[in-house]
Amino acid sequence: MADGNIGQQAASAVDAKIQEFQALQEEIGKSNHKLGTLMAQRNENELVKQVSGAVLSLAGRPAPLSYRHLIIAAQELDICQLEAAEGKDAVIFKQVGPVLIKNDLSEAKDTVEKRLEFITGELKKTESFIQTKETQAQELAQKIQEMQMAMQRAAVEAAKVAAAQQQQTA
């Protein structure tokens, strides 16, 4: 009976480690999702940065079609009107709630730069967190494997002892 109880305790310990491993895997999955979101935000802000630089470089010249497509794609800086063809500065609006407010281009560029710095910092933190959790998961997987192998060895030994006892009684 005591051997069965020890086996149950070992199995319970392995089950607890497996649940811990699954929780780590779930954390890693959520962090990978967050990482993907941050990368998309970084790419979007890089695009906005390129667009705002293109708007400044137009300096009264008509915008080529590719610039217009980039401007339309720039969701963060909702550039509503580009009057470069008429020699006027581009008008930039930012959305605050349901309202569009006129925004200075240099202020918008500064905002994008700060956002990029923040996103880059968050990316580094998230990548570091994922790496740490993956290392923990690998170590835990190794521990689980060792525990399972020890249980198998114990089961083989118990079977040998039971077989030896049965031969002695026979």
Evaluated on CA atoms 110, 112, 113, 114, the torsion sign reads: positive
In a domain, 45, yes or no: yes
Domain count, the chain: 1
| Local confidence band at 109 (pLDDT 50, 70, 90 cut-offs) | confident
The per-residue pLDDT for 2 is 52
In a domain, 151, yes or no: no
Nearest to 30 by CA among 119, 133, 147: 133
The per-residue pLDDT for 62 is 45
Range of the domain at 54: 25-126
The per-residue pLDDT for 12 is 92
* Average of per-residue pLDDT across 3-30: 90
Give the C-alpha separation, 113 to 116, whole Å: 5
Grouping H, G, I as helix, E, B as strand and the rest as coil, residue 16 is: helix
* Average of per-residue pLDDT across 96-115: 82
The CATH number assigned to the domain holding 107 equals: 1.10.287
In a domain, 107, yes or no: yes
Residues 24/142, Cβ–Cβ less than 8 Å: no
* Average of per-residue pLDDT across 50-64: 54
Residue, of 50 and 4, whose pLDDT is higher: 50
In a domain, 64, yes or no: yes
